[in-house]
Amino acid sequence: METAVEMTQRRYKLLIFGPPGTGKTSFARFLNDHNFSNGVEPTVGVDFQMFEYKLPDRVVHVTLWDLSGDSKGIRLSPKYVDIAEGIFLAIDESAEDGLEMFQSWLQNFEGLIDSDKPIVLLRMKSQEEENPAAQWADKTRDWASEHHIPFCFVSSKTNFNVDSALVELISQIDNKSMQIVPQYSWYCCILL
């Protein structure tokens, strides 16, 4: 069990992954420098961001591995899943077939959802104009609820809930390390 002093000096090792084109790299870069860039090149293998983040009670150090959603990222994933303390799973909220694409991609990671790692499902691109995915948003919520995974609607482009998603995952990691039953209190993150 960690003390409060150890928690302030701690580096959080996080992983973000999901199918190609979901906005994982934009999310990771936005957390690092709070800038959004159009036309981000797809990640090849793995990229990472290291940054400090100011929480209300402390400054924390974060290493965020950004795994590509292609076959190369899938091959690398077991190593990073093992060493990550918390995982962001990304799904493209703006794609009409986003949930089906995500579920198909997720079949590569048997046991991940049932592991004891803190996970937050990121519903990416949530505030894009004229979201065609509104009809399947309830299916995504139901899937997350079925797997007891909190989810956040996020958009790096509009800075919608990006910071709140990070705070939620860090909170889950802290609760696990201190053996506290999690309280999903952030308004962007929902556990049903």
Per-residue pLDDT tens, the chain, 192 aa: give them. 556 555 567 899 999 988 888 899 999 999 999 999 888 898 999 999 999 999 988 999 999 999 998 888 888 888 888 899 999 999 887 777 777 888 888 887 776 766 788 999 998 876 554 454 455 567 778 888 888 888 888 889 988 899 999 999 999 999 888 765 555 444 455 433
pLDDT at residue number 64: 97
Question: How many Å is the Cα radius of gyration of the chain?
Answer: 16
pTM recorded for the entire structure:
0.84
The full length of the chain comes to 192
Buried b (16+ CB within 10 A) or exposed e, 1-32: eeeeeebeebebbbbbbbbeebbbbbbbbbbb
Residue 116 near residue 85 (C-beta atoms within 8 A): no
What was the pLDDT predicted at 69?
87
pLDDT value at position 12? 96
Note the pLDDT of residue 88.
95
Which CA distances in Å does 78 have to 67, 70, 83, 112?
11, 14, 9, 10
CATH topology of domain 4-190: Rossmann fold (3.40.50)
**Closest by alpha carbon to 52, among 28, 32, 27, 35?**
32
Contacts of 23 by beta carbon, 8 Å cutoff, 6+ apart: 90, 92, 124, 125, 156
Domain ranges for the chain: 4-190
